[in-house]
Amino acid sequence: MNKIIIIKAGSTFATIRQSLGDFEDWISRAIASPSAKISVVNVLEGDALPSVEMLSGVIITGSHAMVTDKDAWIQVLASWIPQVVERNIPVLGICFGHQLLAQAMGGCSDYHPEGREIGTVSIKLTPEGKKDRLLGFLPDDFIAHATHAQTVIKLPANAVRLAENPFEANHAFRLGASAWGVQFHPEFSADIMRAYFDEQTASLLREGIDVTELQAAICNTDAANTLLKRFMTLVQEAV
């Protein structure tokens, strides 16, 4: 099997990282595949993106950066993504990765007009989502952890919308047969979600967010947490 890479597009808060690990650690644990050869490419620290011919799967992490930032590494990554999609290499973008995948393929990502979504949220599969190879194994209605201020404002022309909720119209989409973006965090545990609230309580209150109610609603998201393992199954089937 060729390489499976996690593109590290950012890090969590330092306090969370010290106690619970970082994005790539959570993804690797959720994959739970000791036989998979997974490498981390830290684009923030200048790691070069590999030739797509070497790859069998790609996961793009979340980030505290914004897709609308003009940082050079974001532009380089956005230029590289279409090569992966065009070769039908399985790719999964999570949160920031979801937004950048959409932007790189002709969509538009920007700040959500209604502000931030954070907490354990309810999400519903669309009719196409129920038939999808990756998301279709989930319940029609499921819960997942989310934290984002930006969103996919407009999907790429050929994208298929797979999941939604009243706040977020584009919680998941697919491009072609093998590229997916999910706005929610399938790698988050309830402890991680609680830690995000602990870290940001003051700023969330300033935004007018009812922290107490949202914290009380945090719970395990067992179905959503199986998504990364399912993605690895599809990667292995594609080889």
| Catalytic entry in 24, 95, 168, 171 | 95
Structural domains in the chain plus CATH codes: 3-238 (3.40.50.880)
Q: Which one of the listed residues 98, 145, 171, 185 is annotated catalytic?
A: 185
> Tens digits of per-residue pLDDT, 60-71?
999 999 999 989
Annotation says 185 is catalytic: yes
Residue whose structure tokens are 């595949």? 33
Positions of the chain with pLDDT lower than 50, given as ranges: none
pLDDT for 35 equals 65
Q: Which of 114, 164, 187, 219 is catalytic?
A: 187
List, in order, residues 6 or more apart from 90 with CB less than 8 Å away: 56, 57, 58, 178, 179, 231, 234, 235, 238
The 3-state secondary structure of 139-150 reads CCEEEEEEEECE
pLDDT value at residue 36: 72
Query: Active site includes 187?
Result: yes
pLDDT in tens, 184-226: 999 999 999 999 999 999 999 999 999 999 999 999 999 999 9
What pLDDT does 32 receive? 76
